[in-house]
Structure 1
Amino acid sequence: MGWKRYWDLLTIIGLSLLLDLLIFYFPESLARKALGLAFVLFFPGYAFITALFPEKKELDNLERLALSFGLSIAIVPLIGLGLNYTPWGIRLLPILVSLTVFNVLFALAAIHRRANAINPWVPWITVERLKEELEWENSSRLDKALTVILIMAIISSIATLGYVITHPKPGEKFTEFYILGPGGKAADYPTELFVGENGTMIIGIVNHEHRNVTYYVQIWRMNLTWNSATNTTLIYEMYPMPGWFNVTLPSVPVNIEGNWTPQFETNYTFSINRPGKWQVWFLLFKDKPPELPPAPPDGNYAETDAKNLILEAINGTIQSLKLNIEVRP
């Protein structure tokens, strides 16, 4: 029979290596997703069970099929658990290499075992063999109907699973909003300044909303206190800071494997012309900024409805950032 004696195991080796190429060169292809399903849910268990039981008499076809799926579901998490305790971790490349090596090694072991078997099991799928396996001729009409329903249910389940995997539900939608010190790190913020002295920081935004978003950033200088007795925030002064801006950003995927990279960052330089302890609030709005009341004569919005923006930011309704700054004379 030559190579035909090992066609199933050679196919597993070839398809495992083909999947590696598809992932690196055609990562978004439908073939990669369909083949990846078999690579994870069938190949490991099939190669393993075939290496353990090469003789035809040891297991029948249905048992081999069921064990191939069942063992694959058990083997893959165990490989992932082992990788978790290695320097490589549970990432795409280590998992891909580990499963490929597992499939190839056990497929080669199965080839060797089958070559030395007295009555080796070699899968040949024909209508006659399926009828014999299912005892079709001796089955009642009810058994035949139940068998057909079972086969249709299995095919439907596989098709549904394939659809779910190839059409994954979008992940959580969110926006990264952050401020950094002038050196690009979460440190050395300008928290102590003299009157009129410039302070510099970096404002950053990353869009993970699965759509294009126009962001509006408002910056306010605040003087407020927290009244613990009444559980309320008292705002005494609220002035707009210069440098409000907007930017439209496309959505970018969350990268959990590589190093984090910024999408949008801008330098922000400011100064405060009055001494005291101030809070600078950065408010982020999506698609449309809120309407503000007319500017008061002295520029203090504390007695207007604009103060509700800060109250909502404190309650977490509006995405915001805060920086405490002490300004000395």
Structure 2
Amino acid sequence: MNLRDYWDLIMIMALSLLLDVLIAVYPDSILRKALGLAFVLFFPGYVFITALFPERKELDSLERLALSFGLSIAIVPLIGLALNYTPWGIRLIPILVSLTVFNMVFSLAAIYRRKKAISPWIPWITLDRIKEELEWERSSKLDRALTVILIIAILTSIGTLAYVVTHPKPGEAFTEFYILGPGGKAADYPTDLFAGENGTVIIGIVNHEHRNVTYYVQIWLVNLTWDNSTNTTIIHEMYPMPGWFNVTLPSVPVNIEGNWTPQFEANYTFSIDKPGQWQVWFLLFKDKPPELPPAPPDGNYAETGARNLILEAINGTVQSLKLNVKVTS
């Protein structure tokens, strides 16, 4: 057995294992991205075609090249579809392991089939071999021109695909804004209080805006009703609550593989002196807070332009959170 006769298949197995190491050790390296392209778009189809058609006469080199890309595009989604029905799901590690196993198994099958072949196809890349495959000497000028155009188109497509994959468009920019109960869960919110009793929530912010952002948090105590006859919101009372703050956060990537982790959280304790049905509104602004009108003598902003902040929050044009609180005397 001459290992040179199986150099392509041995190289695919070695590169598949090398990619596994790169993803574990150097996940952001350029080499990982380049190998990842070949690992997904070429290796599976190549080893599959080589295992099916080991004889040289069955397919020429250009056909094998085209089928390797085409079958890879078909095989990888099928593996992903199969993983979707397993406990592991479509995630990086299961996909990586599945494709590595696929490449290894079919590489070994291709080695066995090539060893048993009468006239095996072995991809030696030389200028004379390329001319022979393309029947260059016997082709007309038109056929030669079309062949050159086809090769240029294939190389351009591969280059374009490589650029798109290695320079992905940034994902959607957004901010996570949430409140939790005092126990750090989305439960046990202080929704029933006595007048003057303290209630505590946790305010959380996570920046996915792809840039540093200064966030401004305003907290308002609001009493409002809905007028069914006019389909409008009527704000009766609106008071600023103590504890407004701002914080500057760097952007963090969205991690869909690991466990979710908070970026910024702060405890907020409040109390309400007046009995009734109240709403505590948490408004979030980026980079610059809105200007407020002068404070009214009684502190009630319901009849000022500040009421538009709550109306915009209700309409969804201002990022906000609301906590309904019943206060008894």
So what's the TM-score if we normalise by structure 1? 0.98
Tell me how far apart the structure 1 counterparts of residues 122 and 252 of structure 2 sit (CA, whole Å).
48
Listed as ranges, the matches of 1:109-148 within 5 Å are 109-148=109-148
Deviation digits for residues 280-318 of structure 1 (CA, Å, limit 9, x no counterpart) = 100000000000011000000001000010111111110
Q: Deviation of residue 139 (structure 1)? A: 2.1
Secondary structure at the residue paired with 2:137? coil
Letter in 2 for 1:216: Y
Match for residue 234 of structure 1?
234
Secondary structure at the residue paired with 1:302? coil
Match for residue 248 of structure 2?
248
Match for residue 262 of structure 2?
262
Match for residue 276 of structure 2?
276
Tell me how far apart the structure 2 counterparts of residues 88 and 312 of structure 1 sit (CA, whole Å).
43
Tell me how far apart the structure 2 counterparts of residues 83 and 94 of structure 1 sit (CA, whole Å).
8
Secondary structure at the residue paired with 2:317? coil
Letter in 2 for 1:210: H
Tell me which stretches of 4 or more aligned residues in structure 1 moved more than 6 Å: none
Tell me how far apart the structure 2 counterparts of residues 123 and 71 of structure 1 sit (CA, whole Å).
19
Tell me how far apart the structure 1 counterparts of residues 95 and 73 of structure 2 sit (CA, whole Å).
14
Letter in 1 for 2:263: Q
Secondary structure at the residue paired with 2:320? strand
Secondary structure at the residue paired with 1:224? strand
Q: Deviation of residue 138 (structure 1)? A: 2.2
Tell me how far apart the structure 2 counterparts of residues 62 and 322 of structure 1 sit (CA, whole Å).
63
Q: Greater CA deviation, 167-176 or 109-118? A: 109-118
Letter in 2 for 1:166: T
Q: Deviation of residue 131 (structure 1)? A: 1.3
Match for residue 55 of structure 1?
55
Tell me how far apart the structure 1 counterparts of residues 258 and 28 of structure 2 sit (CA, whole Å).
18
Tell me how far apart the structure 2 counterparts of residues 156 and 111 of structure 1 sit (CA, whole Å).
31
Match for residue 152 of structure 1?
152
- RMSD over equivalenced CA pairs, Å: 0.9
Q: Deviation of residue 46 (structure 1)? A: 0.7
Q: Deviation of residue 120 (structure 1)? A: 1.0
Match for residue 169 of structure 2?
169
Listed as ranges, the matches of 1:70-89 within 5 Å are 70-89=70-89
Q: Deviation of residue 141 (structure 1)? A: 2.1
Secondary structure at the residue paired with 1:183? coil
Q: Deviation of residue 212 (structure 1)? A: 0.4
Where do 5+ consecutive residues of structure 1 fail to align?
none
Secondary structure at the residue paired with 1:280? strand
Tell me how far apart the structure 2 counterparts of residues 148 and 108 of structure 1 sit (CA, whole Å).
34
Q: Greater CA deviation, 141-150 or 246-255? A: 141-150
Match for residue 102 of structure 2?
102
Deviation digits for residues 154-184 of structure 1 (CA, Å, limit 9, x no counterpart) = 1111011000000100000000000000001
Secondary structure at the residue paired with 1:170? coil
Letter in 1 for 2:318: I
Tell me how far apart the structure 2 counterparts of residues 178 and 39 of structure 1 sit (CA, whole Å).
40
Match for residue 25 of structure 1?
25
Match for residue 14 of structure 1?
14
Secondary structure at the residue paired with 1:19? helix
Deviation digits for residues 255-280 of structure 1 (CA, Å, limit 9, x no counterpart) = 11111111100000000011010011
Letter in 1 for 2:297: P
Deviation digits for residues 125-151 of structure 1 (CA, Å, limit 9, x no counterpart) = 111121122121222222222221221
So what's the TM-score if we normalise by structure 2? 0.98
Match for residue 311 of structure 1?
311
Match for residue 294 of structure 1?
294
The total of aligned residue pairs comes to 329
Secondary structure at the residue paired with 1:49? helix
Letter in 1 for 2:14: G
Letter in 1 for 2:304: T
Q: Deviation of residue 187 (structure 1)? A: 0.6
Tell me how far apart the structure 1 counterparts of residues 114 and 142 of structure 2 sit (CA, whole Å).
38
Q: Greater CA deviation, 303-312 or 144-153? A: 144-153
Tell me how far apart the structure 2 counterparts of residues 159 and 67 of structure 1 sit (CA, whole Å).
18
Letter in 2 for 1:235: I
Letter in 1 for 2:325: I
Q: Deviation of residue 15 (structure 1)? A: 0.5
Q: What is the aligned-residue identity percentage?
A: 81
Tell me how far apart the structure 2 counterparts of residues 214 and 88 of structure 1 sit (CA, whole Å).
38
Deviation digits for residues 59-111 of structure 1 (CA, Å, limit 9, x no counterpart) = 11122111111111111111111111111111000100110011011101111
Match for residue 198 of structure 1?
198
Tell me how far apart the structure 2 counterparts of residues 59 and 147 of structure 1 sit (CA, whole Å).
17
Letter in 2 for 1:194: F
Tell me how far apart the structure 2 counterparts of residues 43 and 143 of structure 1 sit (CA, whole Å).
30
